[in-house]
A = this chain, B = another copy of it.
Amino acid sequence: MADALSAAFAAMADPTRRDMVARLADGDAGVTELAAHYEMSLQAVSKHLRVLEDAGLVSRTREAQRRPVHLEVEVLDLMTGWIERYRRRAEERFARLDAVLDELKQQDAPARTRTRRAGGPR
């Protein structure tokens, strides 16, 4: 998997793991405590948590024999940061495109002097 973003997105691609993240947002929880909400073995839940941990989305602070799972928000920020970056680029482009279209419309309406074969902009 290598890069952090791939691991993070992959971790969030599973509904069970997203639900775990949602629950952990409201407070730390033990593995068994989490497992109570899902119809799968404790081992499966443990594996899901390992995936989240490897992605850096979660940490297990060992506290005596309890190993409460804790949500880490930094990687969440990494994801939204990436997405927002390119979302913004796309939107700036749309804005520019609209500007050009407006300009064309204004140039086109008054007079149509340039030789222009069938079908204007496309």
Q: Which residues on A are within 8 Å of B, measured CB to CB? A: 3, 5-6, 9-10, 12-15, 18, 21-22, 24-27, 63, 71, 73, 76-77, 79-80, 82-84, 86-87, 89-91, 93, 122
Contacts and interface: CB of A to CB of B under 8 A. Distances in A.
Which applies to chain A's interface (DSSP): helix, strand, loop or mixed?
helix
Contacts of A77: 87
A32 to B, nearest CB: 15
A33 to B, nearest CB: 12
Given A10-B10, A83-B79, A93 B26 contact: yes
Q: How often does this chain occur in the complex, in copies?
A: 2
A92 to B, nearest CB: 9
A12 B15 contact: no
A6 B122 CA distance: 34
A62 B39 CA distance: 44
Nearest to A18: B5
A83 to B, nearest CB: 5
Contacts of A27: 93
